[in-house]
Amino acid sequence: MATAPSDYALQEDFVASEQYEVGESVSLWQDTWRRMRRNRLALIATAFVLFVLLVAIVSQFWTPYPIWKQGVGPTYQTPTLKHPLGLDQSGRDILSRLMGGAAISMEVGIGTALLSSVIGIVLGLLAGFYRGWIDSIISLVINVWYGIPDLLVVIMIVVITGRRELLFIIIAISITAWVNMARLVRGQTLSLREREFVEAARSIGTRDFSILFRHIFPNALGPIIVQATYLVPSAIIFEAFLSYLGLGVPPPNPSWGAMTAEGYRSLQYAPHITLIPALALGLTLVALNAFGDGLRDALDPRMRR
Amino acid sequence: MTRGTFAYVGQRFVLIALTALVVSSIVFIGVHQLPGNAFLSERQSSPQREAELLHHYGLDKPLPQQYLAWVGGVLHGDLGESLVNRGVRITPLLLRELRVSATLGLFALLFTVVLGMGLGILAATKQNTWIDYAASFGGTVGYSMPNFVTATLLILLTVTGFYAWSGGAFYEDIGWGKPEQVIVPAIALGLYPMAIISRLTRASMLEVIRQDYVRTAWAKGLRPRLVVIRHSLRNALIPVVTILGPITTSVITGSVVIEYIFGIPGLGKEFVNSIFNRDYNIVIGVFTFYAILVGLANLAVDLVYPLLDPRIRY
């Protein structure tokens, strides 16, 4: 049988639909992955994010030159074979520092996404499920928090406490970043708690705790994961911004934001010192957001915008 | 304007006041937990002078009393006196800087709304062509780039590029006053919100142009421009307006770093400088000011909303 590409695609679709009919279970994740595979931009973005993650992990064990070592070559040197991305104002190897910066960005991004998601999910579930005064208090906190420019809050926290280690910066960003997650989860919970399966669970005497985490939470998982994915790039921006102002992880840690700021003074004669970390930051953020978009479209095609 | 509207506006003002109170008291308490004070140099030369200064600023009183005095001052429109540049009243200083920041912010908003909506409409009317894909990808890029990266690239492109091209005449031109000193920072500031608006406009246009009344407009032979602008855009605008509140927040937040990079003497630069100088009276003032501004912007959006969509009432 001749299988022109279009025929093949048709056939595959047909087989897929037949599977649905016999009721063979296709898990949410298989289904998502099937749709995501068709989205070329999302695939490229996923590959790039995985690459940055890999670089971040590798940098913990090996970099071409020590990250902190100054004077491994002439200062301000443009890219050469020995130093593929050139050297900075202190004669440090930019490639090595870039790799170290990937680790810092990823730690902040993923750490913040996890921590603020936990805060947001718990508060959102409580507010949406119990309603009443609990909801009033949590919603008031959300509304007040929502009206404050969050980046400035993070700056204030860092300045007032004067602490700049990585874990503390993750906590400081999470203090503001949970708000959107809490809003989302609260809304989902408000509608899910009225559904029949929750009613059924309650009628057989299931405890609130397991209704919340075994019945409501899994059903809101799709949007929660998408929201958590978007939290990663926004946390990376916050950290880069803090470091750019000199308020992030203290030097000589290789944060991309700090590297961008350090090269700023020599922008005219050695633009590569600024450009390389700036582009690395930009590309990573574009990839993370494109990955989030792809995941959103794949998880729920109705949400496609 | 019905009674419901007034009640709603009243409620919102209470929320804004509450936000301002929470923000200022948190910052107030936080700042006063810091070891030492702004007069460390005086302490070394003469402890008596330090005591005088502490008394002058009311810093020798208990904290609640200080805070009440501060709130009383704010109610009279007085944010107190700068700790570093002694004798400088903060309110007139901030109002002067607000004019600069507002100019920059309005230019950025103009750029954002005009270009963002234009791109969104273009992408929606040419859906699934390369124009649409390019606009969508450009949107993702604009949405993802932190504004200090955009600003650095723009400086490299314009200021430094012109520097080489003009033989060095362009270099010291970071500051305020000339047209290009407004336009370049406004672009850097507006790129992120522009991306948001263009995405939203596209999505909302796509939904509207599939409606029956738009098909009717086409069917009766209306000119394309009228169909797009009068029939589609007007309704597609409604969701776009809601985002203007958050966008104002992002322009305010963004202006902090943009003004710092471009050396623009506005509120944002004052905020950063005051943090570095530990001039906490100004920091508290700017922060409270921002909280109120964001609240008012959100309120304004909510009040415009029912004008566009008569189905919505408060």
Taking the C-alpha atoms of residue B301 and residue B299, their distance in angstroms, rounded to an integer, is: 5
pLDDT of residue B165: 60
Q: Kindly tell me if the per-residue pLDDT of A75 is higher than 80.
A: no
Give the CATH fold of the A32-68+83-303 domain: MetI-like fold (1.10.3720)
Q: In this structure, is the dihedral angle defined by the CA atoms of residues B260, B262, B263 and B269, taken in order, positive or negative?
A: negative
CB contact under 8 A, A147 and B16: yes
B122 contacts B135 by C-beta, under 8 angstroms: yes
CB contact under 8 A, B33 and A160: yes
Tokens of A195: 């559904």
Taking the C-alpha atoms of residue B11 and residue B14, their distance in angstroms, rounded to an integer, is: 5
pLDDT of residue A302: 59
The interface residues of chain A toward chain B in range 275-294, judged by CB-CB distance below 8 A, are 275, 278, 281-282, 285-286, 288-290, 293
Torsion of Cα atoms, A69 then A71 then A75 then A78, to 10°: -70
Taking the C-alpha atoms of residue B185 and residue B262, their distance in angstroms, rounded to an integer, is: 7
CB contact under 8 A, B272 and A160: no
Q: Least CA distance to A256: which residue of chain B?
A: B149
CB contact under 8 A, A160 and B30: yes
pLDDT of residue A107: 93
Per-residue pLDDT of A170-180, as tens digits, reads 999 999 899 98
Q: For chain B, state the CA radius of gyration.
A: 24
Give the start-to-end residue ranges of the domains of chain B: 96-279
How much is the average pLDDT of A76-84? Answer: 77
Mutate to test the interface with A, among B16, B152, B155 (most CBs of A within 10 A): B152
Question: What's the full length of chain B, in residues?
Answer: 314
Taking the C-alpha atoms of residue A240 and residue A261, their distance in angstroms, rounded to an integer, is: 10
Mean confidence (pLDDT) of chain A: 83
Per-residue pLDDT of A186-211, as tens digits, reads 999 998 988 999 999 999 998 999 99
Taking the C-alpha atoms of residue A222 and residue A240, their distance in angstroms, rounded to an integer, is: 28
Q: How far is the CA of B304 from the CAs of B28, B229, B237, B242, B294, in angstroms?
A: 35, 20, 12, 9, 16
Taking the C-alpha atoms of residue B265 and residue A180, their distance in angstroms, rounded to an integer, is: 33
Taking the C-alpha atoms of residue B233 and residue B201, their distance in angstroms, rounded to an integer, is: 9
CA angle, residues B158, B162, B168, in degrees to nearest 5? 135
CB contact under 8 A, A148 and B155: no
pLDDT of residue A65: 82
Q: What would you measure as the largest C-alpha separation in chain A, in angstroms? A: 75
Per-residue pLDDT of B131-157, as tens digits, reads 888 888 888 888 888 888 888 888 877
Per-residue pLDDT of A227-272, as tens digits, reads 999 999 999 999 998 888 888 888 778 889 888 888 777 777 778 8
How many C-beta neighbours within 10 Å does residue B226 have?
Answer: 11
Per-residue pLDDT of B181-231, as tens digits, reads 788 888 889 988 999 899 888 888 888 888 888 888 888 888 888 888 888
Position A92: which residue type?
Answer: R
- Say how many CA atoms lie within 13 Å of B208 toward its Cβ: 25
The residue ranking higher by pLDDT, A108 or B263, is A108
Q: Note the Cα A186 to chain centre separation in Å.
A: 21
Q: Kindly tell me if the per-residue pLDDT of A10 is higher than 60.
A: no
Mean confidence (pLDDT) of chain B: 81
Tokens of A20: 């649905």
The residue ranking higher by pLDDT, A11 or B151, is B151
Work out the minimum CA distance from B248 to partner chain A, whole angstroms: 10
Q: Does B148 touch chain A (CB under 8 A)?
A: yes
Taking the C-alpha atoms of residue A233 and residue B145, their distance in angstroms, rounded to an integer, is: 10
Q: Kindly tell me if the per-residue pLDDT of A26 is higher than 80.
A: no
Q: Kindly tell me if the per-residue pLDDT of A224 is higher than 60.
A: yes
CB contact under 8 A, A285 and B144: yes
Q: Kindly tell me if the per-residue pLDDT of A57 is higher than 60.
A: yes
Taking the C-alpha atoms of residue A298 and residue A295, their distance in angstroms, rounded to an integer, is: 5
From the list B18, B146, B163, which residue is nearest A237 (CB)?
A: B146
pLDDT of residue A5: 44
Q: Does A95 touch chain B (CB under 8 A)?
A: no
CB contact under 8 A, A240 and B148: yes
Work out the minimum CA distance from A8 to partner chain B, whole angstroms: 24
Exposed, middle or buried by CB within 10 Å (0-12, 13-18, 19+), for A248? buried
CATH number for the region B96-279 comes to 1.10.3720.10
Taking the C-alpha atoms of residue A170 and residue A236, their distance in angstroms, rounded to an integer, is: 10
Of all residues in chain B, what percent carry a pLDDT higher than 70?
89
Tokens of A81: 């074979």
When pLDDT is cut at 50, 70 and 90, the band that residue B42 belongs to is: low
How many C-beta neighbours within 10 Å does residue A65 have?
Answer: 17
CB contact under 8 A, A152 and B146: no
When pLDDT is cut at 50, 70 and 90, the band that residue B272 belongs to is: confident
Q: Note the Cα A260 to chain centre separation in Å.
A: 21
For chains A and B, CB pairs below 8 A equal 103
The DSSP element (H or E) to which A100 belongs, if any, is helix A94-130
B273 contacts A126 by C-beta, under 8 angstroms: no
CB contact under 8 A, B291 and A264: no
A249 contacts A166 by C-beta, under 8 angstroms: yes
The DSSP element (H or E) to which B297 belongs, if any, is helix B280-308
CB contact under 8 A, A148 and B33: no
Tokens of B257: 């770093």
Tokens of B89: 């009243």
CB contact under 8 A, B156 and A264: no
Q: Does B107 touch chain A (CB under 8 A)?
A: no
When pLDDT is cut at 50, 70 and 90, the band that residue B245 belongs to is: confident
From the list A151, A278, A305, which residue is nearest B153 (CB)?
A: A278
Give the residue from B206, B178, B194 showing the smallest Cα distance to B103: B178
Per-residue pLDDT of A127-168, as tens digits, reads 999 988 999 999 988 888 877 788 888 888 888 787 888 899
When pLDDT is cut at 50, 70 and 90, the band that residue A12 belongs to is: very low
Taking the C-alpha atoms of residue A181 and residue A215, their distance in angstroms, rounded to an integer, is: 19
What lies within 8 Å, CB to CB, of B128 at 6+ separation is none
pLDDT of residue A301: 62
Position B209: which residue type?
Answer: I
Mutate to test the interface with A, among B26, B140, B272 (most CBs of A within 10 A): B140
Tokens of A74: 């002439």
